[in-house]
Chains A and B, each alone.
Chain A
Amino acid sequence: MRHGVARFVIGFLALPVALYLFYVVWPFAQAAGYSLTDWGGYSDRQQFVGLENYVRLLSDELIRKAFWHNVFFLVTVPLFTIALALFLAFLLNVGGREDRAGIRGVLGSGVYKIIFFFPQVLSLVVVAVMWQQIYRADGQGLINGVLMKVGLVDRDNPIAFTNDPEPFLGVPAVLWWLLLIAVWSGAGFYMVLFSAAMQSIPKDVFEAAILDGAGRFHTFFRVTLPLLRDTVSVAWIYLGFIALDMYALVFVMTPSQGGPNHASEIFASVLNFTAFQKGQFGYACAMGVALAIFAILLAAAQLKITRRERIEY
């Protein structure tokens, strides 16, 4: 590289890199530093305590509970979101009738695309507030109201939704109701992502499959899915991060931010309580660092498992 070019490149990169270092990397480093102290968060006094906070983390019952709730989301959010997004993308792009015009999506797929993508335009908090009305636990709630009119729900015993800690398949009901919102709000974006990937698959591949007598089922599982492998893998990692967070939904939707009675406690809600209510910032920082390490390991493992030779077309 000529000298002038290097200078030019550095000139352009210096500011963004500096901003990134200052606003992202530096706070992370600070948090890691604080995680080794007993800082309370409201003063400038702190004592170095070594790895004590991390040792404490291992025996914290609430954190263990929160961890398993995060694992629940980690498994279910990507699974259901990707499955739904793939299904919709397939229908919208190649699921329709085959005729002289070739392969295309179901009737009105353009309209559906906009409708399904819509939740992505809304902020998660707006989504949560809207769902509060849908989930409202009396006759004025959208779901309860309709079901009561139809007679499927007893007027004296409405569905409690996010206020319901009773286990369903071994997991508190409140988590399933939150999952529904997460999947609903996430599926649209991944549908668009998969649609784009599907459109880059040459039509002749599908036509060849159809000529060979493959139905929709086989086209999807034998042709589409293998060719989307890279995109699905990336989506899986993104959704994994979203599942590790889930904070906005828990914060807005559940009683006492993680309730009822700790039934929807997640890493972020315990962290928030520990830092801001209990005033144990050092310990809370240790939680944050542990979560960050966990997320990085997860992404690394994911990329390692799904790495494969790419198919060129």
Chain B
Amino acid sequence: MSQLSVEHLLGIKHINKADIDLIFKTADHFKEVINRPIKKVPSLRDITIANLFFENSTRTRLSFELAEKRLSADVVNFSASQSSVTKGETLIDTANNILSMKVDIIVMRHPAVGACDFLSQHVNAKIVNAGDGTHEHPTQALLDSFSIREKLGSVEGKKIVIVGDVLHSRVALSNIYALKLQGAEVKVCGPKTLIPKYIESLGVSVEYDIKKALEWCDVANVLRVQNERMDINYFPSTREYTQLFGINKPLLDSLSKKILIMHPGPINRGVELTSDVADSADQSIILNQVENGVAIRMAIIYLLAQQIERN
């Protein structure tokens, strides 16, 4: 198969295993491209892409922008704080205005769940979800799986624990879908208040003891505590969270095997991960994730652009 089964990348829920395999295969080639002396290919020179970021982002936005530029696409950037959104413009109006400037692909991050899905039904462009509220963050999940595949050979049969604020995490939901599609075993671990009710219905198990969870897994994907999305106190104090669910070097050293540590960033150093864990050369693959992010996003944009008809 050399084509995606979907027209937009709205979430992992909408894609299948063959799509993931195709994205990974294409990303393998792009990873080689971005390690060349000249890191650019001319494939998308007649494609224009708008990055609409209605929510703050550093890594994802830079990563998308680099991916687009390395494919030779024309890129326009938009962030909500500097735009007419603050003057009351609706999402469709904003998007349609941008589209009338002949944009082919929209990469959007939005605080509202389902915003990308909604946009895809109302505007004539390919939509890539760069995170919609607490719902999905498909490109992050794909680059996480791609990084696991790179380090461990495959995702199938591997044991992955997602630690932390699962309730507010779009990264967690997309990761669960992606990992299950590829045949991995998934466990979530965190304070009871931050583990959604009925999470088992997604085929994952729950563990409240961090030591037991780490002992079980091959890879720990550690999430950030999203204070900005917390309307009430989900745990008594950051200090208590760190003592019960923070990962530090003595904890990792006490395990019977070496596990890989991942984090989607930005890290709250000293809260979910201590610095010596985040920076450990043999266990942390956090910077590999960032590098792979560009290759994965190049692959997704390339594959979606393939479907755009020429005028």
A and B interact: no
Interface residues, chain B, CB within 8 Å of chain A? none
